[in-house]
Chains A and B, each alone.
Chain A
Amino acid sequence: MATYHKSNMLTDTPLSFCPGCTHGIAHKLIAEVLQELGQQGNVIGVAPVGCSVFAYKFFNCDMQEAAHGRAPAVATGIKRVHPDKVVFSYQGDGDLASIGLAEIMHAGLRGENITVVFINNAIYGMTGGQMAPTSLIGQKTTTSPFGRTVERQGNPIRMCEMLASQDGPAYLERVMLTDYANVLKAKRAIKKAFEYQIAGKGFSMVECLSTCPTNWHMTPVQACQHIKDNMTKIYPLGVFKDVGGAK
């Protein structure tokens, strides 16, 4: 009989996320993929500033905690010192798409051989639900209390599309962490991203549409439905760049 085992790439520290938050699923997928790829003892991760700031407590590998938005620069420094190690960063949308936009773009343009797992929950979770660069038009947040409008707050940012328009990135995919089938797809995407890094193909990023039931003021089920009904309209799923070649 098959039994479920927690991945050996996760520590025993209990995750600190809210109930129904899909940050935890993303953690689990990364850990499982790294284990399946036999990478234990070969990984350095970079934690961001955001709800996943404690990622360094959860991943069972060497970890560095970066300043807000700077994880791709930190990962660059690490990867250049240890090119034979698997280096990944884990970042939220405020971290990656707002304050750290320059860092992610230039890591992509350099084709930096790292993997980025990008959690797009269209909100600033950690600081209590402020507007993110990815917040949807009409979305109410604590700093867009009347709902985001183009006139007042500008347009949501599409990171996969933006990076895909440039040379440098090797693999870019957007997935959602809403249900079993999509979680499996997400896992395949994350696996492929790491495989590309191990094969030395360069920069890979998987954008995960992720829930924040707490700051969206929704139940976990409503939150998953919101991703399917609304977020995917602005952030369509799919592969945006694939230089191919890895198995």
Chain B
Amino acid sequence: MAKKLFKGNEALGEAAVLGGCRFFFGYPITPQTELSEYLSWRLYDVGGTFIQSESEVSAINMVYGAAGAGARALTSSSSPGISLKQEGISYIACAELPCVIVNMMRSGPGLGGIMPSQADYSQATKGGGHGDYRMLVYGPSTIQEAVDIMYNAFDKAEQYRIPVMILGDGMLGQLMEPVEFPPLKQMPDPSTKEWATTGTHYGKDRRIVNSLYIVASENEAVNIKLQAKYDLLRKNEVMCEEYMCEDADIIITAYGTVARICKSAVKALREKGIKTGLIRPITLFPFPTEVFHKYANSDKTKKFVTIELSTGQYNEDVLLSVMGKKPVEFYCRMGGSVMTVEEIVNKVKEVY
């Protein structure tokens, strides 16, 4: 299929439709608004429904209702809006409903700014709302990768009955790149969702979407079940790119759009004779811990350098994975400022 030039946000909308999304609930916020604008007409081509809700709180609860009723429902927002959705995401996680949430991160805290940031990393990967839960979190670095992830996101969400988050930033959302779209997906038979409230059940067949467990032992059993699911994710769903790591003395690590800048830095550093590689997690939860283990335990690797657009949120996972076996250097920018290739090159040269 021929490639088409697409803006990141719109490409994600198209990929959602192709991947089976038929319901979108959202509230406008920069820098993701084009995603909802796109779906406000595109969903009607495929018999879907688009609602601009009164708030992000409503949007996520509409997703809860629609997902619980068996539909493939999407919501998208940016940082402050995602904060508002946290209670609902926690309910969705506990009720084991599948859905997809896009966060095109902007800088914070507070109202912050609309420029690229990765400062919602911990919120996304450690749960975000109240209670012990996780989402399956992807951090794509190109529009093509975002499209491919979105295309399969509902399948993953339904396979594990979990919320899936696609974590991008304003750069990914606003960028235009040529992308190749996969074909419209054949939807799985919705009647196979034996938990969905479709309205036809009564008596002992009744279906209940719920997250209330008053008895402590029952609530603990729910938590144990959820944790088992997250262990399955750790086992089966890790995605990570290892770029020129084999012979590298220095391994840079970054995710999302920042990793693209790092890739250019790797090339520039190699031209200067510094053997550098890049570990780029594609899933942020589950984290590619074992990839880090491999290089932390290798005699070849001298040092890691973490690069991120937040103040060490991502680096905490890197440190946990390197387990003190090698030094981990750190460089970040904040508040919507983005590092240049040169800044990364200089940082690596400084610690080399």
- Mark A residues whose CB is within 8 Å of B: 8-9, 11, 40-44, 46, 53-54, 56, 60-67, 70, 73-82, 85-87, 102-103, 105-106, 110
Contacts and interface: CB of A to CB of B under 8 A. Distances in A.
B128 to A, nearest CB: 15
B25 A63 contact: no
A103 B58 contact: yes
A46 B203 contact: no
B68 interface: yes
Given A60-B202, A82-B69, A85-B199, A65 B212 contact: yes
Interface stretch (B49-57, B136-144, B170-178, B255-263): B49-57
B39 interface: no
Interface string B41-76: 000000001010111011101111111111101000
> Which of B65, B69, B88, B209 lies at the interface centre, i.e. has the most chain A CB atoms within 10 A of its CB?
B65
Interface of B: 23, 25, 49, 51, 53-55, 57-59, 61-71, 73, 87-88, 91, 95, 197-203, 206-212
21 contacts: A8-B202, A11-B206, A43-B199, A44-B197, A62-B198, A62-B207, A63-B208, A64-B197, A65-B211, A73-B65, A74-B62, A78-B65, A78-B69, A79-B65, A81-B23, A81-B71, A82-B69, A85-B198, A102-B58, A103-B54, A106-B54
B69 A81 contact: yes
Which 10 residue pairs across A and B have the least CB separation, nearest first? Answer: A77-B65, A85-B199, A77-B66, A62-B197, A73-B61, A74-B65, A70-B61, A77-B62, A81-B69, A64-B209
A102 B55 contact: yes
Contact of A73 (B62, B67, B70): B62
A67 B62 contact: no
A interface: dominant SS:
mixed
Contacts of B206: 11, 60-63
Contact of A64 (B23, B58, B68, B71): B68
A41 B58 contact: no
Nearest to B204: A11
Given A70-B57, A81-B71, A103-B58, A64 B199 contact: no
Nearest to A49: B212
Contact of B197 (A9, A63, A105): A63
A44 B199 CA distance: 5
Contacts of A43: 199
- Most chain A beta-carbon neighbours within 10 Å: one of B57, B59, B61, B210: B61
A77 B54 contact: no
Task: Output the residue of B53, B88, B197 with the most chain A CB within 10 A.
Answer: B197
Contacts of B201: 41, 61-62
Contact of A66 (B25, B61, B70): B61
Contacts of A70: 57-58, 61, 64, 88
Contacts of A62: 197-201, 206-208
Contacts of A110: 51
A13 B95 CA distance: 22
B73 A77 contact: yes
Contact of A81 (B66, B88, B95, B202): B66
A56 B49 contact: no
B87 A67 contact: yes
A105 B67 CA distance: 23
Contacts of B71: 77, 81
Given A85-B199, A106-B58, 5 more contacts: A42-B200, A61-B199, A62-B208, A65-B212, A103-B61
A212 B197 CA distance: 31
A74 B25 CA distance: 11
Contacts of B63: 77
A155 to B, nearest CB: 23
A73 B200 contact: no
Contact of B23 (A9, A74, A80): A80
A60 B210 contact: no
Contacts of A75: 65
